[in-house]
Structure 1
Amino acid sequence: MASKKPNEMSNEELLKNEKTLKLVITMGIVAAVLMLAAGIWLTIAKQKFSALTAVPMSMGVIVIVNANSLKTIQKEKKSRGLL
């Protein structure tokens, strides 16, 4: 499924996507922090490196991409006067 650009979306789709992206970003940050904490704890407890500490770094990229999409949607909302 190809996603539409924000300028091609209806007002309802724009608002729905903004709400969804906010939830996805929040959940991604929470999951990354929990995995980072678990990875650090496992590294200290077992006295050897745990691969779990590297996963939150890759999740950070996904969060950044979603945050940029959210910014684009918010700019489009502002240009349409949907504040």
Structure 2
Amino acid sequence: MTEIKLEELSNEELLKREKMIITVTYTLAGMLLLLFGLGIFLTFKKGFTALTVVPIALLPIVIINFGNIKKIKAERKLRNL
């Protein structure tokens, strides 16, 4: 996957990308939290399941997206948006 340079985006594209990434990241984080809770519940109820590992495996996506949000906010600050 090619990385898009934030400096090359227009102000409108940057704001649109920030809104999309924030929405997707917080939704994914919420779903992973719910899935993790469900996995723990099922572990106590029926023993270890593969469902318990899924939120842990997907956690790096959330971490990377939070890093991208931080970069976008820094670029917004540079542009005084």
Report the TM-score, using the length of structure 2 for normalisation: 0.92
Runs of 4+ in 1 over 3 A off after TM superposition: none
Counterpart for residue 64 of structure 1: 63
Counterpart for residue 50 of structure 1: 49
Identity %: 43
Unpaired segments of 5 or more residues in structure 2?
Answer: none
Give CA deviations for 1:32-57 in whole Å, capped at 9, x if unaligned. 111111111111111x2111111111
Counterpart for residue 12 of structure 2: 12
CA RMSD of the aligned region, Å? 1.3
Number of residues of Structure 1 aligned to a counterpart in Structure 2 = 81
Report the TM-score, using the length of structure 1 for normalisation: 0.90
1:22 and 2:60 are equivalent in the alignment: no
1:77 and 2:71 are equivalent in the alignment: no
